[in-house]
């Protein structure tokens, strides 16, 4: 659907040890380097309130970087790429001090979650499931579902398998998500249905996506989200009746909790952290 506004809600990056150290390195020295990288990155994450939003795991195979949905504040795919680079730049500035590399390594993309919000709901609007290559869709309902009225209480649909070899689609009512506060902060509302694709490593690097590294994701050939989303939706999709008539839609605003200012102070936005302080040299 061309009217859908796509954004990134999760990305996993990876830097292999062979990329960090072109020459063979003593195991004890490697362990020491990884320990220092882990300590300094954790210090940075805690200092800027990012420890629940970003996870960095150094080990002898390499360094895994998980950037979760809560780390993003921008609402568009292209601006999310910018946020990822800002985070990665800070992480790389720590990592490079313990490697043989001076130039920044282009990390592998191991997983990518692309999503959009629609102001229509599974329990009030008609929809069609497009699922030509996968097993039967799994449906989720509220806990108090009555078999006689279960079609009125559907809260989610899942199609496919999770994992590095698969493309997984989940469509769910964000109003029922107990962790929907960030949606209210990022988009101003949780009154929507979230359509979210989880793209595994094997799927990403093959045609038609050809996304192996972060650089591929941001290149002119693949950064056009229309191309990526069209390929995703051809594989599997859930389409609401009347969705094609939605143009420049706005979600109904959600009310923020009374202690919002305290929450914001405790967990400042990624944009504020990165642009004001996060990129400074320690």
| Same-domain status, 34 and 93 | yes
| Same-domain status, 116 and 191 | yes
Length of the chain measured in residues: 282
Are the beta carbons of 81 and 218 closer than 8 angstroms? yes
Of 51, 77, 110, the position where a domain reaches its end is 110
Domain that holds residue 207: 112-245
Residue with tokens 């940075």: 44
Mean pLDDT of 224-253: 85
Structural domain includes residue 265: no
Structural domain includes residue 280: no
Q: Using the predicted structure, report yes or no on whether residue 1 has a pLDDT greater than 60.
A: no
Structural domain includes residue 268: no
The pLDDT, as a whole number, for residue 219 is: 65
Closest CA to 208 of 219, 218, 222, 198: 222
| Same-domain status, 126 and 97 | no
What three-state secondary structure class fits 190? coil
| Same-domain status, 146 and 228 | yes
Highest mean pLDDT: which range of 14-28, 92-106, 191-205? 191-205
Residue 139 pLDDT grade (very low, low, confident, very high; cuts 50, 70, 90): confident
pTM reported for the whole predicted model: 0.87
| Same-domain status, 194 and 222 | yes
Structural domain includes residue 267: no
Residue with tokens 């780390």: 71
Structural domain includes residue 274: no
Structural domain includes residue 184: yes
Q: Using the predicted structure, report yes or no on whether residue 224 has a pLDDT greater than 80.
A: no
| Same-domain status, 96 and 187 | no
| Same-domain status, 139 and 205 | yes
Sign for the pseudo-dihedral over CA of 269, 274, 280, 282:
positive
The pLDDT, as a whole number, for residue 26 is: 82
Structural domain includes residue 71: yes
Give DSSP secondary structure letters for 193-234: EEEEEEEEHHHHHSTTT---BHHHHTSTTT--HHHHHHHHHH
- In 8-146, where does DSSP find H-type helix? 17-20, 27-47, 77-95
| Same-domain status, 64 and 153 | no
| Same-domain status, 153 and 34 | no
Q: How distant is the alpha carbon of residue 29 from its chain centre?
A: 34
| Same-domain status, 75 and 193 | no
**Which residues are CB-neighbours of 90 under 8 A, at least 6 positions away?**
44, 274, 278, 279
Closest CA to 113 of 201, 29, 33: 201
What three-state secondary structure class fits 54? strand
Are the beta carbons of 18 and 236 closer than 8 angstroms? no
Structure token digits, residue 165: 């070899």
When the pLDDT of each residue in the chain is averaged and rounded to a whole number, the result is 84
Segment 17-69, tens digit of pLDDT:
888 887 777 888 889 999 999 999 999 999 989 999 999 999 989 999 999 99
Segment 64-97, tens digit of pLDDT:
999 999 999 999 999 999 999 999 999 999 999 8
Q: Using the predicted structure, report yes or no on whether residue 273 has a pLDDT greater than 50.
A: no
The more confident residue out of 49 and 255 is 49
Closest CA to 76 of 176, 224, 195, 179: 224
Structure token digits, residue 109: 């993309």
| Same-domain status, 227 and 126 | yes
- The number of folded domains in the chain is 2
Of 53, 77, 110, the position where a domain reaches its end is 110
| Same-domain status, 132 and 239 | yes
Cα-based angle 186, 115, 216 (whole degrees, multiple of 5): 105
Structural domain includes residue 272: no
Closest CA to 112 of 202, 5, 237: 202
Are the beta carbons of 11 and 84 closer than 8 angstroms? yes
């Amino acid at each position: 659907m061309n009217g859908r506004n796509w954004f990134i809600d999760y990305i996993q990056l990876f830097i292999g040890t062979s990329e960090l150290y072109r020459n063979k390195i003593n195991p004890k020295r490697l362990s020491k380097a990884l320990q220092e990288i882990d300590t300094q990155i954790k210090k940075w994450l805690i200092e800027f309130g990012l420890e629940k939003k970003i996870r960095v795991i150094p080990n002898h195979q390499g360094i895994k970087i998980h950037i979760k949905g809560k780390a993003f504040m921008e609402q568009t795919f292209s601006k999310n790429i910018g946020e990822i680079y800002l985070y990665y730049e800070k992480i790389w500035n720590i990592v490079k001090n313990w490697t043989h590399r001076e130039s920044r390594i282009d990390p592998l993309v191991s997983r990518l979650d692309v999503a959009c919000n629609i102001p229509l709901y599974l329990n009030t609007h008609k929809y069609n499931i497009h699922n030509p290559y996968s097993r039967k869709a799994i449906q989720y309902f509220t806990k108090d579902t009555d078999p006689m009225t279960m079609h009125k209480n559907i809260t989610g649909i899942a199609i496919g398998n999770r994992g590095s070899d698969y493309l997984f689609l989940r469509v769910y009512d964000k109003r029922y998500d107990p962790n929907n506060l960030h949606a209210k902060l990022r988009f101003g509302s949780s009154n929507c249905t979230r359509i979210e694709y989880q793209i595994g490593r094997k799927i990403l690097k093959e045609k038609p996506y050809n996304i192996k590294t972060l650089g591929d994701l941001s290149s002119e050939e693949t950064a056009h989200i229309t191309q990526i989303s069209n390929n995703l939706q051809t594989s599997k999709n859930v389409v609401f009746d009347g969705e094609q008539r939605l143009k420049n839609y706005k979600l109904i605003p959600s009310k923020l909790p009374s202690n919002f200012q305290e929450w914001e102070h405790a967990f400042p936005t990624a944009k504020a952290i990165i642009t004001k302080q996060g990129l400074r040299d320690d």
